[in-house]
Amino acid sequence: MPVDVNAQTIQFFSCALSGGAIGVLYNLFAAIRRGFSFGRIATFFADGFFWVAGTVVFFCILHISCSGEITWYGLLGVILGMVLYLASASRIVYPVLLGLVKLIKKLLKFCMKIFIMPFYKIFKVLSKLFKPVKKLAQNTRKKTSNFVKNNVEKIKRLGILLKKI
């Protein structure tokens, strides 16, 4: 069976490119984790999602370029591509991705302010309108509790009288 060196070279380079794509994906997830502070559980799931996404990217590239064949030079290409990306272009791409994530975070905060601000204003107006009602309720509660405290004996005797009837 003849070995097609050109096809193997193309497969190696496409696998190296998929390794670089996985490196970009890694930088994207790292920038998202740094831009948005997640808890431990969310970080765990984000890391799991990264590995699933990286695996999908790898197997899609493998399916397209190598007809689904897993070869040692394909795996070497992926590892080499990721290492080369992380050693070189990552230093440029990561700050850009981090800046984009921070920009998106600011835009989300701005949109939330725009969305929440009307409700905040309405709540503020309603709380001012209902302030007298709140004070009336508090005063009534205080007066009632003071009345009960001061007249506990009378209320107990009244309860005993009512039971006898």
**55-70 tens-digit pLDDT:** 887 788 777 777 777 7
CA atoms of 165 and 163, how far apart (whole Å):
5
Locate 14 and state its tokens: 């496409």
- Whether 71 maps to a domain, the answer reads yes
Contact 19, 54 (CB under 8 A): no
- Whether 44 maps to a domain, the answer reads yes
- Whether 97 maps to a domain, the answer reads yes
pLDDT tens by residue, 129-158: 777 777 777 788 887 777 777 777 777 777
Let me know whether 51 and 77 are in one domain.
Answer: yes
Let me know whether 96 and 143 are in one domain.
Answer: no
Rounded to whole angstroms, what are the CA distances from 139 to 13, 134, 144, 149?
A: 79, 9, 8, 15
Is residue 1 scored above 60 in pLDDT?
Answer: no
- Whether 39 maps to a domain, the answer reads yes
Locate 48 and state its tokens: 């799991």
Residues 6+ away with beta carbon under 8 Å from 143:
none
Let me know whether 110 and 152 are in one domain.
Answer: no
CA atoms of 35 and 103, how far apart (whole Å):
9
If one counts the domains in the chain, the total is: 2
The dihedrals phi and psi of 99, each to the nearest 5 degrees, come to -60, -40
Whole-number percent of the chain with pLDDT over 90: 13
Let me know whether 113 and 135 are in one domain.
Answer: no
Residue 151's domain comprises 130-165
